Amino acid sequence: MEYLTEKYNPEFSKHKLYRISKESRQIEELYEWNQGNSFIKDIYFESDEIGYIFFRPSGNPLDYQFLKTNNGGKEWNVVELNLPVNETHRKDEKLYFLSNKNNLKSDWIYSIDKSNDILNSIQFELNIIDFSVGENGDYWLLGKEKDKTVLKHYEDGKTIDIQTFSDNADVSPKQLYKYDELIVVIASQIDENMLGIGGTKPLMFVSKDNGLMWDNHRLDEALYLKPISFYKDEQMTAYVGNGKVLTCKF
């Protein structure tokens, strides 16, 4: 099955959850959220019955909730998070999200156990933009350290520097992808030829050996990379503007 949501007028946002059969292409409406200025951050289904949503019922960034269903989206149980929710990821029996506390820096990663709703957290000395969860409960962290764009690895209570991609504030980290020993870092850089209109160009850094060696992958024709789809450690596909799709085989 595939799941999707539909959003209406953003001034009074209404969301609907649908299930689409891959075999028959039949569409079934499951649930409707009819709440003003609400927002669905991410949705995960691990079976036809069990699913999870990070949901904000209002315009207040502190109103986030964790929604759970065990009957295919027809009914939802609510866990109040009362925290901002930025990037989210799933790993084994836990869901993870990036957040902050009383500052503008995203330096907290929270994990919530799907079976018992227990919430745990860890704080880092880094403005984290994206992260990846390793096989041993370790974290790979992409973020900003003052003006630097950096990648760090946290394991067993220690954080080590893996790579500095730029010392320049003109470079902004955007996305981190990790699968086995493949690491892909997406960033953007202010394009001096487009300063009059605030233009940027995408950057992509690739490591195939867990961060030991890096290649600055050329993206000459790309205006941007969005959306991006990865398939294991084999390839990346992204829309790059002007009706073009980029496929990068690793």
The predicted-structure confidence for 123-179, as pLDDT tens digits, reads as follows 999 999 999 999 998 999 999 999 999 999 999 999 999 999 999 989 999 999 999
- For residue 8, pLDDT over 50 is answered with no
Model confidence at 2, in pLDDT bands (50, 70, 90)?
A: low
- Longest Cα separation, the chain: 54
Amino acid at 190: I
Q: What is the pLDDT of residues 63-80, one digit of tens each?
A: 999 999 999 999 999 999
- For residue 1, pLDDT over 60 is answered with no
**Higher pLDDT among residues 233 and 37, named by residue:** 233
Q: Tokens at residue 188, please?
A: 């953007």
Cα(162)–Cα(119) distance, integer angstroms: 28
What per-residue confidence (pLDDT) applies to 200?
86
* Ramachandran assignment for 69, one of left (phi > 0), alpha (psi -120 to 50 degrees), beta (any other): beta
pTM tops 0.75: yes
* Ramachandran assignment for 41, one of left (phi > 0), alpha (psi -120 to 50 degrees), beta (any other): alpha
Cα(106)–Cα(85) distance, integer angstroms: 10
What per-residue confidence (pLDDT) applies to 114?
87
- For residue 197, pLDDT over 60 is answered with no
- For residue 22, pLDDT over 50 is answered with yes
- CA dihedral (108, 111, 112, 116) in degrees, to 10, reads -120
